[in-house]
């Protein structure tokens, strides 16, 4: 899958809120994913492992975050194979309102 947008296309200065998920924990993790991909993965929505998520997050992560990532997979907002999470079009759609220039 080829995602055409870049992580830097999103405003992550503020927290994500009022998304389709209606769940602040998922919104925080979605923002973390965008931040990690922007700053640690050459501004690409690159696949990442749980270990990379833990390493690149700027806070002490908990196993609950892994469970939330797995929930996002079950709900179809992330793909998972070869031990890597991948952003997909459903994820991009869920965070659309935080895109800087909506075009």
The CATH number assigned to the domain holding 94 equals: 1.10.10.10
Residues of the chain with pLDDT > 70, as a percent, come to 97
Q: pLDDT tens across 30-51, in order? A: 999 999 999 999 999 999 999 9
- The reported pTM is 0.93
Given a contact cutoff of 8 angstroms between Cβ atoms, the answer to whether 27 and 15 are in contact is yes
What pLDDT sits at residue 14? 86
- Cα 91 from chain centroid? 7
Tell me if 3 is assigned to some domain: no
Per-chain mean pLDDT for the chain: 94
Tell me if 28 is assigned to some domain: yes
Cα 58 from Cα 32, distance rounded (Å)? 9
């Amino acid at each position: 899958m080829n995602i055409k947008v870049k992580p830097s296309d999103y405003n992550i200065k503020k927290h994500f809120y009022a998304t389709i998920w209606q769940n602040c924990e998922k919104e925080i993790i979605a923002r973390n994913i965008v931040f990690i991909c922007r700053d640690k993965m050459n501004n690409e929505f690159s696949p990442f492992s749980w270990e990379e998520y833990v390493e690149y997050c700027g806070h002490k992560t908990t196993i609950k975050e892994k469970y939330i990532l797995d929930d996002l997979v079950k709900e179809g907002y992330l793909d998972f194979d070869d031990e890597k999470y991948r952003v997909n079009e459903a994820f991009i759609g869920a965070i659309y309102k935080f895109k800087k220039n909506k075009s």
